[in-house]
Structure 1
């Protein structure tokens, strides 16, 4: 298969996520969200991310979430005291869901449809805190360029908080004949390509726009952040999974893989 250009991959990923939105809405989780976001103290953030955000400090701050999906995490930031929250995503379909959830909530985050590589000028140097959670970094063809755009949203002294899957996990195929055998190189250059709809659990046997999942080493992530003018203040790896249930099989092993990480970097 011929590899797409950066622009083609970004556009195809956007189409894939727009198609995916209807599958995510057709789930018991969506109904639970509609019922629970009405609480002022609503949060879907796990203990790991909540602890890191609490240590960095969210109270009274202006926060941007880059890759906000349906806005559930953006809404959760108000429970930690955020003054203002802006969620950014390139999927119009998921942002429609974010606005529907917000209509049930006492809080009023703003949502902006934009590709991270073409952020509106109004977002530059505006925020005290930027948040990136699971399943954002790997949709980015160029991790260094991505961090440069992220850094532009922060005020000097502003902090970026990342809670992501660990790149070591990309070496394994949880659906392979032997899920514990190494299936891919840590230094893989070409993206993983999927032509079925993007869903968190199971599979939908339909054709969809190709989606491209790019593998980035920890070194590429660190160097990308540093080159963007972000000083790394915190990095921690964890033995638990924060992604699809398929990956739960890698938890609680005698020879335990790192499964996710948190990173905090401050803009110089």
Structure 2
């Protein structure tokens, strides 16, 4: 059962994402995504994640994506031969966009509006659970999150996480000195997100207040293991997988880790 504070945060984050969805379902980027989804081999996963999933051997495997947003990544799994069976997200507005993209791609995954802490009992178990950029930081309860993930994966199946490295949360790319840490790596208070949520770092205007949680890499790995997974791979990468305004942190003489891949097997 969720605590009152977890419920407060997740409800706030749901409102924040629904309030921001209209920014992503219009304009040239959306039009390009619609066109791409209608083409054979549609894949927005990028080289790093595509290589990880290919090496894992996901062809013919049933997949669920947690925090699937508009399902563009879930649908992309079909290009690797996987079965995009289930996408879970709190935002009904983004899932409506996902239904449009799925129709363009001629795929029919179940797109489920649900809080990850209150997953219904009829979702089954899958061979692959995919978690990508930004999902973990919206989670106020890391232990409850990974418990839910484990429930979605059959024994012997895998979870693949491709996330922004938590060390990057220490820095503000818009600061006068963007390489001076502004927040502790070990900060536990949630960060308020006041404006509408955009992917390109642009100003989306006003929005509902959301809450962003900082989890260290050690916490992510330990909680994953304690939830019934065996780590098979943890790789930190120098390349960027988040908003473009963080690009100044790439290609430095003294390079920060900017993202990571975690692959773990359900035991």
TM-score tier after normalising by the smaller chain length:
over 0.9
Separation in 2, partners of 1:260, 1:84: 24
Q: RMSD in angstroms over aligned alpha carbons?
A: 1.1
Query: Number of paired residues?
Result: 263
Query: Hey, what does 2:137 align to over in structure 1?
Result: 138
Query: Hey, what does 2:30 align to over in structure 1?
Result: 30
- The runs of 5 or more residues in structure 2 that have no matched partner are none
Contact 2:185-2:216 at 8 Å conserved across structures: yes
Q: Does 1:5 align with 2:11?
A: no
Query: Hey, what does 2:210 align to over in structure 1?
Result: 211
Query: Hey, what does 1:248 align to over in structure 2?
Result: 247
**SS of the counterpart of 1:183?**
coil
**SS of the counterpart of 1:164?**
strand
- The runs of 5 or more residues in structure 1 that have no matched partner are none
Contact 1:195-1:210 at 8 Å conserved across structures: yes
Separation in 1, partners of 2:85, 2:248: 35
Runs of at least 4 residues of structure 1 off by over 6 A? none
Query: Hey, what does 2:238 align to over in structure 1?
Result: 239
Deviation of 1:175 after TM superposition, in Å, equals 1.1
Separation in 1, partners of 2:261, 2:6: 27
Deviation of 1:84 after TM superposition, in Å, equals 4.2
Deviation of 1:40 after TM superposition, in Å, equals 2.7
Q: Deviations over 1:63-108 (max 9, x none)?
A: 0000000010011000000134211101000000000111111222
Deviation of 1:205 after TM superposition, in Å, equals 2.8
Query: Hey, what does 1:73 align to over in structure 2?
Result: 73
Query: Hey, what does 2:178 align to over in structure 1?
Result: 179
**SS of the counterpart of 2:183?**
coil
Contact 2:69-2:89 at 8 Å conserved across structures: yes
Query: Hey, what does 2:224 align to over in structure 1?
Result: 225
Q: Does 1:21 align with 2:21?
A: yes
Separation in 2, partners of 1:195, 1:47: 32
**SS of the counterpart of 2:21?**
helix
Contact 1:23-1:199 at 8 Å conserved across structures: yes
Separation in 2, partners of 1:122, 1:129: 17
Contact 1:40-1:107 at 8 Å conserved across structures: no
Q: Deviations over 1:25-68 (max 9, x none)?
A: 23321110111101231000110000110111110010000000
Query: Hey, what does 1:156 align to over in structure 2?
Result: 155
Query: Hey, what does 1:108 align to over in structure 2?
Result: 108
Deviation of 1:234 after TM superposition, in Å, equals 0.4
User: TM-score scaled by structure 2?
Assistant: 0.96
Q: Deviations over 1:112-153 (max 9, x none)?
A: 1111111111124x1001000001000000112110110000
Separation in 1, partners of 2:57, 2:89: 24
Deviation of 1:194 after TM superposition, in Å, equals 1.4
Separation in 1, partners of 2:88, 2:247: 29
Q: Does 1:90 align with 2:73?
A: no
User: TM-score scaled by structure 1?
Assistant: 0.96
